[in-house]
Amino acid sequence: MTATHDAQEPSRRDFLYIATGATAAIGAGFLAWPFIAQMNPDRAALALASSEVDLSQIAEGQVVTVKWRGKPVFVWNRTKDQVETAKSVPLSDLPDKQARNENMPGADASDVNRAAKGKENWLVVVGVCTHLGCVPISNSGDFGGWLCPCHGSHYDSSGRIRRGPAPENLPVPPYAFDSDTKIKIG
């Protein structure tokens, strides 16, 4: 036998090295798991992941800002005229045709897909401009919704981008009506 032939053929010692290394790697994984698992948020932190809003305090036409996961969320009790104006906008006029609604993934940006079914007067959107993260001003801009004063993004009364550098509509967070006067965001 030549030396080159012995170097290519695995031996019992090679197998023991590989088996020992694999066992050590698995053992290290089991040892590290409790340390990794303790980095997950506890139940108290997860409870803060949702926010309840009392709608009975919001007058028709009024926009209220609440905090959810450290972000501003606009809750708007739109008037009938504002709802009708938002519904009348053709999709072809919108730069972003996606609803960006976590409650209806993949839906188009029509007003029906941005508000809750049967409660179209309530609009809930994350109040962060999709351009650079500024907070837009409510009841402003050329389309009666929001205006981001930093770079001039105009949103309509459904939170859809209509003009300016913002690439997307204001996102609709996951929310549900607990009752006629209360919603839970998150």
Strands 182-185 and 175-179 turn out to be antiparallel
Q: 3-state secondary structure string, 71-132?
A: EEEEEEECCHHHHHHHHCCCHHHCCCCECCECCCCCCECCHHHCCECCECCEEEEECCCCCC
155, 123 Cβ separation under 8 angstroms: no
Distance CA 172, CA 154 (A): 17
Active-site residue flag, 5? no
| Catalytic option among 5, 131, 151, 154 | 151
Which residues are identified as catalytic? 151
